Amino acid sequence: MGGLFRKGGWLLPLSFRARVFVALVGISATTSLVIGLVLYYFTENRLVQEEQRSLIQRSQLANASAGEFLEGTRNPESDIYPPPPTYAGELVQAIAGPTGLGVLYVAPDGTPLAARQGSESPDPERLYGELGLSEEMIERAERSSQGEGRIYPRDGWPRYITVWPLQGSDGVVRGTIAYYAPQEDLDRTLGFLRFGILGAIGTSILLAGLASFLLTRQITHPLSVTRDAAIRVASGDYSVVPVNRQDELGEVAAAFNYMAQEIERNVREIQEQKTRLESVLEASPEAVVAIDPGERVTMANPAAARMLNITPERLGRPFGESEVPEGVMECLRTALKSGAAVREVESGGRIYWAYAARMARPEEDGRDPGVILAVRDITEYRSLERAKTAFVSDLSHEIRTPLTTIQSAMGIVQSAGERLEPAERRALQLAEQELRRIRSMVEELLTLAQMDSQQYSLEIGPTNLEDVIREAVESIGAKAERFGITVETDFGAGEHTCPGDARKLYQVFLNLLDNAVKYSDPGAHVRVSVEEGENELSVRVSDTGLGIPEDDLPQLFERFYRVDKARSRASGGSGLGLSIVKEIVELHGGRVGVESELGAGSTFTVTLPRFPATRPADYAR
């Protein structure tokens, strides 16, 4: 039975307790009614069958008595029977009294002559019609060869009648007699049976109602306690439900207590995480703003109020109303379309770095949660960076002038080399090596300064990597030969052409070859190979040198990072070469990586695109 009933009618929604009660009482009432009906109809059928059997037996005895009475009316001398009208009344009276049956005597010509029912004598003609007798039924009885009667069922009163022929000792039929049983006793018995069954049904319903009430109370009381506890949990009270049962309801209570404890623990953890997150956001120097797909502000930290004028009063309002810089708005809208965006924005004499990304997790209802926008004021950082770049650039230029003078002076001294003592010539060679190392460091510093100030440019054109690599190998050949190191090349098949700046790529491969020679022992091998893919060219510079520790690989391309600092100083390393390599390769749209094993050597792989590639519109350096 459902909890919702006919709308607008007199039936109202019922509680669970009422539904259980009604269901149990209804089942009990239906069961009792079905059993009572089956019992009533079974008993009624048995009584009617018994009445039918009794009527047949009694009518047979009565008809035998009627035959004896008929023989008593015969004249012994003449052996003649009197006419039926003369003895009809006495006949039915003599039969009806002892048997208790209703009797109707019909003459041989079909005329009803006499009737008797108890102490009454009904009208024969009327009774003939009420019994539903017909000429066919009378004739069928008279034609009976053995003097047997027939029983006929009826729809009304009486239920059954029997029709017997009245024969004398001479075998001649002298009329027919119809017998029927009075209905008062049977009707009285069936009435008592009906009242008894109805009383039993009513009693069973009352008992079932009482049992159902007690059972529903026993079931619903623990549920009501659990419901009240659930309401308390919703309001923050995690007190447990008493478990005083060992059945399924007790298991429900125990499970509820476990759930309440888990909810309390999870809520506490979430609250702690929320508190930590709020502390981080409040302490963060970056402006952090959450924005929904409709560009409305849903969350902002204090830095957003200082930097973007997004105060708590503006929550729920469009982000653009806060008069944020246009570049920040473009970053936000790009992220809403493509998923993420980065911008460096200048506004009002300040420089901002803006990053926006779509939130990864959707809302519970499947809606887009929007984006997170982070804005950092990098004005001071850019000022320091420009000052540093300017300082390095100015220092490098200032150093180049005296270095050029020193180089010229050393050239003059070298022209008189034959007149110099051996120690003086050795000192001159050392000075020339240090001068070259200083000039190399100055050039590297100038290159990085140009990259930082975005003044470093590429002259892109069709470049044959095979020619560039051969030139780099020739340049390093003398140094490799001096250290007893063999340099091999393997160009394979193909033209190995890609868009690039030949001089800058020459610098990349020269630096990698110089490192391979520098950090290899005499007798080692350096191998340069080129592989051509569908869209990329890969250049591998492998050596059988010392190798690089695994812990140093992630920082290998950082500025001024040196693996073996003592050996780097001895060999003149500055820690800038690989960072310049990385910058140049990435400016070409490529990538550089390294694989190394201590004692087995290293392999640097430079991957360059074979076709021109454009930089994404939302990229900011």
Q: Residue 438 is part of a domain; what is its CATH number?
A: 1.10.287.130
Quick: pLDDT tens for 341-359. Answer: 888 887 777 887 788 887 7
Question: Tokens 């002038």 — which residue?
Answer: 401
Assess if residue 534 is contained within a domain.
yes
Model confidence at 121: pLDDT above 70 = yes
Q: Which residue has the tokens 């391979």?
A: 516
Average pLDDT over residues 404-429: 68
**Maximum mean pLDDT: which of 190-199, 282-291, 539-548:** 539-548
410 located within any domain? yes
Is 238 a member of any domain? no
Task: Label residue 455 by pLDDT band (50, 70, 90).
Answer: low
pLDDT at 398: 62
The residue count for the chain: 621
State the average pLDDT over residues 128-153. 84
Residue 463 sits in the same domain as residue 545: yes
Q: What percent of the chain has pLDDT over 90?
A: 8
Nearest partner of 562 among 543, 541, 577, 544, judged by Cα: 577
Give the pLDDT band (50/70/90) at residue 178. very high
Looking at the fold, whether 28 and 167 belong to one and the same domain comes out as yes
Average pLDDT of the segment spanning 427-444: 67
Rounded CA separation 557/542 (Å): 17
Pairing of strands 160-167, 150-153: antiparallel
Lowest mean pLDDT among 307-311, 424-428, 467-471: 424-428
10 Å Cβ neighbour count for 112?
Answer: 21
My answer on whether omega of the bond before 312 falls inside 30° of 0, hence cis, is no
DSSP 485-538: -EEEEE--SS--EEEE-HHHHHHHHHHHHHHHHHTS-TT-EEEEEEEE-SSEEE
Domain match, 53 and 178 both = yes
CB atoms within 10 A of CB 213: 15
Q: How far is CA 358 from CA 331, 336, 343, in A?
A: 12, 7, 15
Can you say how many angstroms the Cα of residue 247 is from the centroid of all Cα atoms in its chain? 31
Counting the structural domains of the chain, the total is: 5
Residue ranges of alpha helices (H) inside 353-421 are 379-415
Least confident of 20-34, 193-207, 570-584: 570-584
Q: List b or e across 551-576, with b for residues whose CB sees 16 or more CB atoms inside 10 angstroms.
A: eeeeebbeeebbbeeeebeeeebbbb
Which of 255-264, 475-484, 524-533, 563-572 bottoms out in mean pLDDT, i.e. has the lowest? 563-572
Q: Which of residues 191, 221, 237 is at a domain's end?
A: 191
251 and 400 assigned to the same domain: no
pLDDT digits (tens, 9 = 90+) for 241-278: 777 777 777 777 788 788 888 888 888 888 888 888 87
pLDDT at 481 over 90: no
Domain boundary pick from 448, 471, 502 = 448
Q: Higher model confidence: residue 364 or residue 517? A: 517
Q: Do 31 and 167 lie in a common domain? A: yes
Which one of 266, 283, 300 terminates a domain? 283
Q: Average pLDDT of 551-569?
A: 69
Least confident of 192-196, 422-426, 561-565: 561-565
CA-angle at 351, arms to 347 and 355, nearest 5°: 100
- Per-residue pLDDT, averaged over 92-107, amounts to 88
Most confident of 176-180, 191-195, 557-561: 176-180
Chain-centroid distance, C-alpha 538: 46
Q: Is the pLDDT of residue 307 over 60?
A: yes
Q: Are residues 531 and 468 in the same domain?
A: yes
| Angle in degrees, 0-180, between the axes of helices 184-234 and 248-283, rounded to the nearest 10 | 20
Q: Which residues pair with 532 in a beta bridge?
A: 537
Strands (E), 107-225: 112-117, 150-153, 160-167, 173-180
- Shared domain check, 309 and 165: no
Q: What is the pLDDT of residue 540?
A: 92
Contact 286, 375 (CB under 8 A): yes
Residue 614 confidence (pLDDT): 52
Least confident among 9-13, 383-387, 604-608: 9-13
Output DSSP code: residue 296: B
Do 183 and 115 reside in the same domain of the chain?
yes
pTM above 0.85? no
Residue whose C-alpha is closest to residue 21's, from 202, 225, 218: 218
Contact between residue 70 and residue 56 where contact means Cβ atoms under 8 Å apart: no
Long-range contact pairs involving 612-618 (C-beta distance under 8 Å, separation at least 24): 612/460, 612/499, 613/589, 615/589, 617/334, 618/331, 618/334, 618/338, 618/340, 618/341, 618/342, 618/343
Among 101, 104, 96, smallest CA distance to 138 is for 104
**How would residue 176 be classed by pLDDT, with cut points 50, 70 and 90?**
very high
- Domain-located, residue 224: no
Residues 271 and 289 in one domain: no
More reliable by pLDDT, 363 or 396: 396
Check residue 165 and give its pLDDT.
92
418 and 556 assigned to the same domain: no
> pLDDT confidence of 163, banded at 50, 70, 90?
very high
Distance between CA 17 and CA 381 in Å, rounded? 72
Between 366 and 415, the more confident residue is: 415
What distance in Å separates the CA atoms of residue 184 and residue 242, rounded to the nearest whole number?
66
603 neighbors 553 (Cβ within 8 angstroms): no
In a domain, 324, yes or no: yes
Is residue 606 pLDDT above 90, yes or no?
yes
Could you tell me the CATH number of the domain that includes residue 566?
3.30.565.10
The DSSP secondary-structure symbol of 432 reads: H
Question: 320 in a domain, yes or no?
Answer: yes
Position 227 in a domain: no
Show the tokens assigned to 219.
């079931």
Distances (CA, A) of 347 to 249, 305, 316, 324, 379: 67, 16, 25, 9, 10
CA distance 350 to 341: 20
Q: Which of 54-63, 178-187, 265-274 has the lowest mean pLDDT?
A: 178-187
State residue 134 phi and psi, 5-degree precision.
-140, 165
- Tell me: pLDDT of 63 over 80: yes
Q: Where residue 199 falls among pLDDT bands split at 50, 70, 90? A: confident
Q: For residue 357, give the nearest of 334, 376, 386 by alpha carbon.
A: 334
Is the distance from CB of 595 to CB of 603 less than 8 angstroms?
yes
Together in a domain, 290 and 427: no
- Mapped onto helix, strand or coil, the DSSP state of residue 469 is helix
Domain that holds residue 465: 458-609
Q: Report the CATH number at residue 299.
A: 3.30.450.20
Answer yes or no: is pLDDT of 8 > 60: no
What is the number of other CB atoms lying within 10 angstroms of the CB of residue 433? 11
Do the Cβ atoms of 574 and 444 come closer than 8 Å?
A: yes
pLDDT tens by residue, 516-528: 888 888 888 899 9
Residue 268 forms part of a structural domain: yes
User: At 587, which amino acid appears?
Assistant: L
Same-domain pairing of 468 and 511: yes
